[in-house]
Amino acid sequence: MAWFRKEHEPLPAQEQESRVPEGLYVKCNGCKETIYRKEVVANQAVCPRCAFHFRISARERLSLLCDTVWEEFDQKLASSDPLHFKDTKLYADRLQDSKAKTDCYDALVSAIGTMGGLSTVMAVMEYGFIGGSMGVVVGEKVTRAIERAIRERLPLLVVSCSGGARMMEGTLSLMQMAKISAALARLDSARLPFISLMTDPTTGGVTASFAMLGDLNVSEPGALIGFAGPRVIEQTIRQKLPEGFQRAEFLLEHGMLDMVVDRRNLKATLVKSFRFLLN
Tens of pLDDT, residue by residue over 150-192, are 999 999 999 999 999 999 999 999 999 999 999 999 999 999 9
Cα 127 to Cα 133: distance, rounded to the nearest angstrom? 8
- Same-domain pairing of 128 and 187: yes
The DSSP secondary-structure symbol of 132 reads G
Residue 14 has pLDDT above 60, yes or no: no
- Same-domain pairing of 111 and 124: yes
**According to the model, what pLDDT value does residue 23 have?**
80
- Same-domain pairing of 34 and 141: no
What's the chain's average pLDDT?
93
The DSSP secondary-structure symbol of 194 reads E
Tens of pLDDT, residue by residue over 131-144, are 999 999 999 999 99
Q: Which helix (H) or strand (E) holds 278?
A: helix 266-278
Which segments of the chain are extended strands (E)? Answer: 4-6, 25-27, 34-36, 71-73, 77-79, 108-115, 118-125, 156-162, 194-202, 216-219, 259-260
Cα 214 to Cα 46: distance, rounded to the nearest angstrom? 25
Whose CA is closest to 39, among 28, 260, 29? 28
Cα 222 to Cα 46: distance, rounded to the nearest angstrom? 12
Structurally, the chain folds into a number of domains equal to 2
CATH at residue 166: 3.90.226.10
Check: CB of residue 55 under 8 Å from CB of residue 126: no
- Same-domain pairing of 29 and 147: no
By residue range, what is the domain housing residue 187? 55-278
- Same-domain pairing of 49 and 63: no
- Same-domain pairing of 31 and 64: no
Q: Which residue has the higher pLDDT, 229 or 263?
A: 263
Tens of pLDDT, residue by residue over 70-123, are 999 999 999 999 999 999 999 999 999 999 999 999 999 999 999 999 999 999
- Same-domain pairing of 140 and 240: yes
- Same-domain pairing of 117 and 75: yes
Cα 52 to Cα 41: distance, rounded to the nearest angstrom? 12
Whose CA is closest to 258, among 276, 235, 239? 276
What is the torsion angle, in degrees rounded to the nearest 10, for the CA atoms of residue 63, residue 68, residue 74 and residue 78?
Answer: 30
For residue 82, whether the previous peptide bond is cis, meaning omega lies within 30 degrees of 0, is no
- Same-domain pairing of 35 and 143: no
**According to the model, what pLDDT value does residue 6 have?**
59
Cα 18 to Cα 7: distance, rounded to the nearest angstrom? 25
Mean pLDDT to the nearest integer, 54-73: 96
